[in-house]
Amino acid sequence: MSKKRIRAGLAGFGISAKVFHLPFINALTDKYELVSILQRKGNEAQEKYPSVKIVRDIDELVDDPEIDLVVVTTPNDTHFPYAKKALEAGKHVVLEKPFTNTTREARELVNIAKHSGKALSVYQNRRYVSDFRTMKEILDKKLLGEIHEFEAHYDRYRMEARPAAWREAPLPGSGILYDLGPHIIDQALCFFGMPAAVTADIRMQRPHAKVDDYFILWLDYDFTKVILHAGMLVREPGPRYMIQGTRGSFIKYGEDPQEARLRAGELPVGEDWGMEPEEMFGLIHTEKEGKTIKEKYPSHKGSYADYYNELYESIVNGLPVKEKPEHGYNTIRIIELAIQSNNEKRTIDCTELMDVAY
């Protein structure tokens, strides 16, 4: 008997679709088949994939009986209505970050997914990068002792505005906190669970900015403090991650190589895919077996493809979804509380978070 293939329809044909989803749907040919693409304007998708159906609206996509899975990569204001339509049409759904623009929408999707019997998964691909997997091992093994400070940066340098970029327009769900925040907020929740409180400083730093292009969040875990930072005016970045524990430190520079290789048009194949060169390994300075060590800590191999491999097991074989809709809700709740903290210039208790395992 042949192996079941999941028939996928993709909503959107922008950078997210081309870089983070299509390469893996097309590479995992024993598990997925690309059936349809929603491209509202233009013919690029048809030229790139002449054998795939091209549709112009979400109803045509989700009403297609040939499709098992809908992958939503369209702008943030469409995430909730598109995911809702797909679930109610009996489809499994992969939803790009941010999960939704509000916790009201997020809670509704959580409830719809529970009653639909279909998988709803947030595309938290930053759990499938080299640095996350390496830090998880270090934390799980308690190589630094008890962690008292964790700092993560997602910094860029882009002085000029991008023409016609919806992420930089004053619209719901726009701005750097909704764009980059879900990556590092989700990582913090995976590592440390639910914080007690959040304090935030959110700014518009560039002269042309119409939405936030800088944030720093402080998440309070009693003994542990988590600092999350993103900005668009960081020309020479410092460490991407810094972890300080009672026995030692871990410092990590650089970026997981997968995104750059995908943007360059490489296919996610080969034994070296997702591997960092040795010069990018993080530095660990700690005590081990009574001795002080200060050395490079080998990076784990990253693999975005593992997201789609594990999703296949959830849809076909009934394994629990790893990137749960409740995780998406919690990330949006932290963003809302951070905005409240910034507006009121005070620390806000973290309330109404969903109690769910990570």
Tell me the pLDDT tens digit for each residue of 244-263.
Answer: 999 999 999 999 999 999 99
User: pLDDT, tens digit, for every residue of 101-124?
Assistant: 999 999 999 999 999 999 999 999
- What is the per-residue pLDDT for 141? 97
Asked if residue 204 is part of any domain, the answer here is: yes
Residues β-bridged to residue 348: 198
pTM of the predicted protein model: 0.96
Cβ atoms 280, 297 nearer than 8 A: no
Question: Do 155 and 280 fall into the same domain?
Answer: yes
284: CATH? 3.30.360.10
Q: Which domain holds residue 157?
A: 130-302+335-349
Question: Do 273 and 169 fall into the same domain?
Answer: yes
Residue 118 one-letter amino acid: K
Q: Residue 1: pLDDT above 70?
A: no
123, 148, 170 - which closes a domain: 123
Structural element, H or E, at residue 120:
strand 120-122
Question: Do 105 and 144 fall into the same domain?
Answer: no
Question: Do 54 and 174 fall into the same domain?
Answer: no
User: Residue 261: helix, strand or coil by DSSP?
Assistant: helix
Residue 157 one-letter amino acid: Y
Asked if residue 152 is part of any domain, the answer here is: yes
Q: Residue 29: pLDDT above 60?
A: yes
User: pLDDT, tens digit, for every residue of 309-323?
Assistant: 999 999 999 999 999
Question: Do 91 and 57 fall into the same domain?
Answer: yes
Q: Residue 166: pLDDT above 90?
A: no
Question: Do 146 and 294 fall into the same domain?
Answer: yes
Please, which residues have CB within 8 angstroms of residue 345's CB and are 6 or more apart in sequence? none
Residue 355, burial from CB neighbour count under 10 angstroms (0-12, 13-18, 19+): exposed
Asked if residue 87 is part of any domain, the answer here is: yes
Question: Do 183 and 282 fall into the same domain?
Answer: yes
Q: Residue 168: pLDDT above 60?
A: yes
95, 123, 151 - which closes a domain: 123
Question: Do 43 and 163 fall into the same domain?
Answer: no
62, 92, 123 - which closes a domain: 123
Asked if residue 354 is part of any domain, the answer here is: no
Q: Residue 202: pLDDT above 80?
A: yes
Question: Please, what is the average pLDDT of the chain?
Answer: 96
Q: Residue 189: pLDDT above 70?
A: yes
Q: Residue 164: pLDDT above 80?
A: no
- What is the per-residue pLDDT for 2? 52
Question: Do 37 and 138 fall into the same domain?
Answer: no
- What is the per-residue pLDDT for 284? 98
67: CATH? 3.40.50.720
Report the pLDDT averaged over residues 352-357. 96
- What is the per-residue pLDDT for 5? 96
Radius of gyration of the chain (CA): 21
Number of independent structural domains in the chain: 2
